[in-house]
Chains A and B, each alone.
Chain A
Amino acid sequence: MNDLYSDTLITRYRSPRFRGVLDQHDVSIEGENPLCGDRIRVYLRFGPDGRVAEASFSGHGCAVAEASADVLMESLLGRSPEAALTLGQGDVLEALGLDSLPASRSKCACLPIQAVHKGILEAHGSPRCGEAGLL
């Protein structure tokens, strides 16, 4: 019906691999698009090496937001906080097999990304992370 709804996007939405709540976590933060009514909570646990050891999300959003969250969680694994902050919309789209998003849906893909960035910056509060390209 529509190029946006790639097989990957539909699959990741229907059968997410990273949906769930991490009881042991270093980061737990909710992103919200009040205009859409979407809320996604992201959980991260860092390993002894300081890199992301576990990642998951809960909550509800549209297919774009939820599938983006799912592929984002996958991309975060093994990344240092600094490297996590470099992940943006382009990476998520690539993982979903999409070239672009309609302008009105960009905020859907950004919802989990912004939550992750905010959570990491709050957890580390480090100015050295501040310059990383957010989106």
Chain B
Amino acid sequence: MADSSPTSLPNIAGVVLAAGASRRMGFPKMLAEFDGEPLVRRAARTALAAGLSPVVVVVGAYAQEVSAAIEGLPVQLAENPAWAAGQSTSVRAGITALPPTADGALVLLGDQPLVSSALIAGLVEFAAPDAIVAPQVAGRRGNPVLFGRSHFAELMSLTGDFGARRLLSEHPVITVEWDSADAFLDVDTPEDLRRIGALPEPEASAPEALDVASLRRDFPILARAMPSGGPLIYLDSAATSQKPVAVLEAMRRFNERGNANIHRGIHTLAEEATALYEGAREKVAAFIGAPSAREVVFTRNATESINLVARTWGCANVRRGDLIVLTEMEHHANIVPWQMLAHEKGARLAFVPVRDDGLLDLGAYRALLAEKPRLVAFTHLSNVLGTVTPAAEMIAMAHDAGATTLLDGSQSVPHMPVDVAALGADFLAFSGHKMLGPTGIGVLFGREELLEAMPPFLGGGDMISAVTFDSFEVAELPHKFEAGTPAIAEAIGLGAAVDYLSELGMERVAEHGRRLAEYACETLAAIEGLRILGPSAKHRGPLVAFTLDGVHPHDVAQLLDSEGIAVRAGHHCAMPLHERLGLGASTRASFHVYNQFSEVDALVDALARVRRLFLLESRSA
């Protein structure tokens, strides 16, 4: 490493950005080790070695752990509580922390372990109060970038996730040619770490199983005692999931320390609240692979999301005689809004049949598409049958027929990787409370061009850009569809839930649910008189609904409850499907990340006792 001679240079500070959540890494990447030390420590040490002074390390996500990793180094810490709102907030926090004597600041990413002090010294050579200096390899500019003091004000006015990159396109940049492209490598995924030798190669095969025993400690409710005297065995996550401490804390922190309305106040709390709310939107967008956060509208729940589409897109696009295609396995939330629209418009509804094996009849679907429907709306994962529908294929077929598509992701988004870009969905609706988040917050994803063309939904504040006594102009996306003060704390809670699920890894979450459902199907099938609804485990998500001969589902649920086992009994908001199955009701056990195989065993044992209690002779009506 080249020694620099700080005394001969202008006073350049270092700002090390180490506040991000490392969504794609699955663990705090700043703590990943390279050459025996955590990435953040290496970045701070390199900055110090290059003579930068002071060196400010901006921390946000995992602030405690990251701070601990740089303990002992003569650096200054800057906390960025609004880190989730994007890298710009960290740049601002770092620049704010600089002393007035700094002539410039070199902004380093904490996750670029191959940036050397020689590279930094090479940039500092060109420092000037109004200069921007960046390294370039083979014609491509990269990080770190040095900003002269006269750019500080502009750096502090940045918003969003693009950090300081915008300045580079708006001002002349001095580029310093560098010979090693490695310098630019930033670590975003475990693969990146492996490439630079910081992580061992993974073993092939299925995703690693969740450490359920330890993650259960994140869910305080699982520790509550039940009237039965035993533990809570919660098998009703398809109705609503339990919430980890990270979610509860994020909401508590906001309500206790950050509460303010968003998008309007010119004060610290309002700005922080806006940053957190919009940060949650960014997280949700990344979680579902939405190309832009403008395509993510916050609603109350999936039901409201679907109604929003029916009342806006539907009112503008569905005409008399048009066909709307649904399936027989839809939740009422994806039936009733379309019935209302169809009644109003004189449109027709048709339902793709469910075959006896629990899968959709795609031949019948193809036949319906030949009638050129205006819309196809269907579930990604049936809340009764557990069926995972071939969504990408069905959406592509619908598009070929000229139809717009809405995917009900209420049960899929919480349990499996869902990527709207890969699926090609026009609309995706889901709720926060089924994905470890709070109630009162839901999401509608819509493709930007569709959302732009749609009329607004509810009218009021926040959804307008200007109002006169005569008329109004609608606000930009996504605010156009968010009239009135939204559920701010709940959105922040949902953002925390997304972080939590992302860190577990959705592949692993899906695999866990699949294994539990498979195990439940196997063990439940051994109970005499028990009939499992829905398809084989191969096509099934994390839930199993069933009937038990001679015992009403409500009696089953009541008796299971007396043993601390919470299941759902009834029609699960899918009365037409139950009619199709010839059933009044069923009992459903549904799982999430915190459920254990031993809980399935407890369910099976209890059901055997229910069966004995009710051991019936055959009766006639």
Contacts and interface: CB of A to CB of B under 8 A. Distances in A.
B587 to A, nearest CB: 12
Interface stretch (A31-39, A71-79, A85-93, A117-125): A31-39
A61 B562 CA distance: 20
B621 interface: yes
Interface string A1-45: 110110000100111100100000000000000111111000000
B552 A61 contact: yes
Interface string B566-582: 00001100010010000
B562 A62 contact: no
Interface centre among A2, A4, A64, by most chain B C-beta atoms within 10 angstroms, is A2
B571 A1 contact: no
Interface string B598-621: 000000001001100110110101
Nearest to B571: A37
Nearest to A2: B562
A41 to B, nearest CB: 9
A102 interface: yes
A58 B555 CA distance: 19
Interface in A32-71: 34-39, 58-65
A25 to B, nearest CB: 16
Contact of B614 (A10, A39, A102): A10
Contacts of B584: 36-39, 60
A1 B609 contact: yes
A1 B614 contact: no
A1 B610 contact: yes
Interface in B537-595: 551-555, 558-559, 561-563, 570-571, 575, 578, 583-585
Given A10-B613, A36-B585, A37-B583, A2 B554 contact: no
Given A4-B558, A14-B617, A35-B571, A63 B610 contact: no
Contacts of B570: 35-37
A84 interface: no
A96 interface: no
B555 A63 contact: yes
B609 A14 contact: no
Interface centre among A1, A4, A38, A60, by most chain B C-beta atoms within 10 angstroms, is A1
Contacts of B606: 1
A14 B583 contact: no
Given A34-B575, A36-B570, A2 B559 contact: yes
A115 interface: no
Given A2-B562, A36-B585, A105 B609 contact: no
Contacts of B559: 1-2, 5
A14 B616 contact: yes
Contacts of B585: 36-37
Contacts of A64: 554-555
A4 B561 CA distance: 12
A1 B583 contact: no
B578 to A, nearest CB: 7
A110 interface: no
A5 B553 CA distance: 14
Nearest to A65: B552
Interface centre among B554, B616, B617, B621, by most chain A C-beta atoms within 10 angstroms, is B554
A102 B621 contact: no
A116 interface: no
B558 A60 contact: no
Contacts of A105: 554, 558
Contacts of B609: 1
Nearest to B561: A2
B104 to A, nearest CB: 68
Contacts of A13: 614
Given A10-B613, A60-B621, A63-B614, A1 B563 contact: yes
Kindly list the 6 A-B residue pairs having the minimum CB-CB distance in the complex, ordered from nearest: A37-B584, A62-B552, A2-B562, A37-B585, A62-B554, A63-B555
Given A14-B619, A63-B551, 6 more contacts: A1-B559, A2-B559, A10-B614, A19-B619, A39-B584, A58-B621
17 contacts: A1-B559, A1-B562, A1-B606, A2-B559, A14-B614, A14-B617, A14-B619, A15-B617, A19-B619, A37-B578, A37-B583, A39-B584, A61-B552, A63-B552, A63-B555, A102-B558, A105-B558
